[in-house]
Amino acid sequence: MEIQSIKNRFGIIGNSPALNFALQVAAQVANTDLTVLIAGESGVGKEAFSQIIHALSARKHNPFIAVNCGAIPEGTIDSELFGHEKGSFTGAVDFRKGYFETVNGGTIFLDEIGEMPLGTQARLLRVLEAGEFIRVGSSKVQKTDVRVIAATNKDLLELTDKGKFREDLYYRLSTVPIRVPALRDRTEDIPLLFRKFAVDFAERYKTAPVQLDEEAKNLLINYPWPGNVRELKNIAEQISVLSEDKQVTAANLRRFLPETGNRLPMVMPSNGATSNGSPEFANERDILYKLFFDMKKDVTELKKMFLEIVQNPSLNASQHAAYLNELKELKPSESFPPPVITGAAQPVVIHNNGHEDIHHHEEVEESLNIMDKEKELIVKALKKHKGKRKDAASDLGISERTLYRKLKEYDISE
What is d(CA 161, CA 240) in angstroms, rounded to the nearest whole number? 46
Residue 189 and residue 89 share a domain: no
Residue 265 located in a structural domain:
no
Residue 62 located in a structural domain:
yes
The highest-confidence range among 28-42, 285-299, 327-341, 369-383, by mean pLDDT, is: 28-42
pLDDT of 165 higher than 50: yes
Residue 170 and residue 58 share a domain: yes
Q: Return the beta strands (E) in 172-284 as ranges.
A: 176-179, 211-212, 247-248
Which tens digit of pLDDT belongs to each residue from 180-221? Answer: 999 999 999 999 999 999 999 999 999 999 999 999 999 999
Residue 245 and residue 135 share a domain: no
Q: What integer pLDDT is reported at residue 377 of this predicted model? A: 84
Q: What is the CATH number of the domain that holds 385?
A: 1.10.10
| % of the chain beyond a pLDDT of 70 | 73
State the DSSP code for 225: -
Residue 385 and residue 345 share a domain: no
Q: What integer pLDDT is reported at residue 319 of this predicted model? A: 57
pLDDT of 265 higher than 50: no
Q: Return the beta strands (E) in 268-354 as ranges.
A: none
Q: What integer pLDDT is reported at residue 312 of this predicted model? A: 65
Residue 192 located in a structural domain:
yes
Reduced DSSP (H G I as helix, E B as strand, rest coil) percent helix, strand, coil of the chain, to 5: 45, 10, 45
> What average pLDDT does the segment 364-386 reach?
74
Query: What mean pLDDT value characterizes the chain?
Result: 81
Confidence of residue 283 (pLDDT cuts 50, 70, 90): very low
Burial degree of 280 (CB within 10 A; 0-12, 13-18, 19+): middle
Confidence of residue 281 (pLDDT cuts 50, 70, 90): very low
Residue 163 and residue 39 share a domain: yes
Q: Are 110 and 67 in contact (CB under 8 A)?
A: yes
Residue 188 and residue 327 share a domain: no
Last residue of a domain, one of 161, 181, 201: 181
Q: 98 — alpha (psi -120 to 50), left (phi > 0) or beta?
A: beta
Residue 121 and residue 8 share a domain: yes
CA angle 403, 409, 411 (to 5 degrees): 95
Residue 131 and residue 110 share a domain: yes
pLDDT of 230 higher than 90: yes
Residue 330 located in a structural domain:
yes
Specify the higher pLDDT residue, 369 or 216: 216
Confidence of residue 388 (pLDDT cuts 50, 70, 90): confident
Burial degree of 402 (CB within 10 A; 0-12, 13-18, 19+): middle
Alpha helix ranges (H) inside 107-207:
118-130, 156-161, 167-173, 190-205
Residue 120 and residue 56 share a domain: yes
CA angle 119, 94, 87 (to 5 degrees): 60
Q: What is the CATH number of the domain that holds 116?
A: 3.40.50.300
Q: What integer pLDDT is reported at residue 294 of this predicted model? A: 63
Residues ≥6 apart with Cβ < 8 Å to 35: 128, 147, 148, 149, 150, 172, 173, 174, 175, 176
Please tell me the total count of domains within the chain: 4
What 3-state class would DSSP assign to 228?
Answer: helix
> In 3D, which of 86, 59, 71 has the Cα closest to residue 144?
59
Which tens digit of pLDDT belongs to each residue from 59-109? Answer: 999 999 999 999 999 889 999 999 998 888 777 778 889 999 999 999 999
What is d(CA 95, CA 134) in angstroms, rounded to the nearest whole number? 13
Residue 131 located in a structural domain:
yes
Q: What integer pLDDT is reported at residue 366 of this predicted model? A: 52
Q: What integer pLDDT is reported at residue 99 of this predicted model? A: 95
- Residue 132 phi/psi, 5-degree rounding, is -125, 150
What is d(CA 144, CA 41) in angstroms, rounded to the nearest whole number? 31
Q: Are 229 and 47 in contact (CB under 8 A)?
A: no
Burial degree of 255 (CB within 10 A; 0-12, 13-18, 19+): exposed
Residue 374 and residue 306 share a domain: no
What is d(CA 52, CA 49) in angstroms, rounded to the nearest whole number? 5
Residue 105 and residue 217 share a domain: no
Q: 83 — alpha (psi -120 to 50), left (phi > 0) or beta?
A: left
Which tens digit of pLDDT belongs to each residue from 292-339? Answer: 656 666 666 666 666 666 566 555 555 555 555 555 555 444 444 444
Specify the higher pLDDT residue, 323 or 49: 49
Residue 351 located in a structural domain:
yes
Q: Return the beta strands (E) in 153-268 as ranges.
A: 176-179, 211-212, 247-248
Domain carrying residue 211: 184-254
> What average pLDDT does the segment 281-291 reach?
51
Residue 133 located in a structural domain:
yes
Q: What is the CATH number of the domain that holds 191?
A: 1.10.8.60
Burial degree of 226 (CB within 10 A; 0-12, 13-18, 19+): middle
> In 3D, which of 319, 328, 327, 326 has the Cα closest to residue 346?
319
Residue 189 located in a structural domain:
yes
Q: Which residues of 194-220 are buried (b: 16+ CB within 10 A; e: fewer)?
A: bbbbbebbeeeeeeebbebeeebbebb
Residue 289 and residue 215 share a domain: no
